[in-house]
């Protein structure tokens, strides 16, 4: 008589449904719909717009407008440096200019 018994369960990585029948889970998994979400980001502050929500053109316009706003507001270095550290380097850039050299 065996003292120990093991059984292998196969688990769907998407919803967690499991079964001892590997084929069943493979068939089940194939039925999941894969959803792709595209997001357009402002590369300075990392704010993003969903393409599914805004449409690709609008999303790109929004991100471009955000970028231009930083430029216009003159906060591009400050915002970029902050976003760089907050996002772990994904957005923005690390160099901060030491104030504006405008003769004051
Ligand atoms: Zn599933
Ligand atoms: Zn921005």
The tens digit of pLDDT for each residue in 41-67 reads 999 999 999 999 999 999 999 999 999
In-domain check, residue 43: yes
Residue 80 forms part of a structural domain:
yes
Ligand nearest to the CA of 12: 1
Q: Which ligand is the nearest neighbour of the Cα of 87?
A: 2
Q: Which of 83, 53, 82, 48 is nearest to 63 (CA)?
A: 48
Q: How far is the CA of 67 from the centre of ligand 2 (A)?
A: 5
Within-domain flag for 79: yes
- What's the gap in Å between 15 CA and the centre of ligand 2? 35
Query: Structural domain tally of the chain?
Result: 1
Contact (Cβ atoms closer than 8 angstroms) between residue 35 and residue 42: no
Residue 30 lies in a domain: no
CA 84, CA 77: separation in Å to the nearest integer?
10
> Residue 4: inside a domain, yes or no?
no
Residue 91 belongs to a domain: no
Evaluate whether residue 96 is within a structural domain: no
* pLDDT over 80 at 99, yes or no: no
Domain that holds residue 74: 39-86
pLDDT in tens, 2-12: 899 999 999 99
């Amino acid at each position: 008589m065996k003292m120990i018994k093991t059984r292998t369960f196969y688990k769907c990585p998407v919803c967690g449904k499991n079964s001892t029948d590997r084929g069943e889970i493979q068939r089940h998994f194939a039925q999941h719909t894969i959803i792709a979400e595209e997001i357009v980001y402002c590369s300075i502050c990392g704010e993003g717009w969903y393409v599914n929500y805004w449409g690709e053109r609008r999303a790109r316009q929004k991100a471009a407008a955000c970028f231009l706003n930083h430029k216009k507001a003159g906060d591009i270095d400050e915002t970029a440096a902050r976003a760089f550290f907050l996002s772990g380097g994904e957005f923005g850039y690390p160099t901060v200019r030491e104030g504006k050299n405008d003769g004051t």
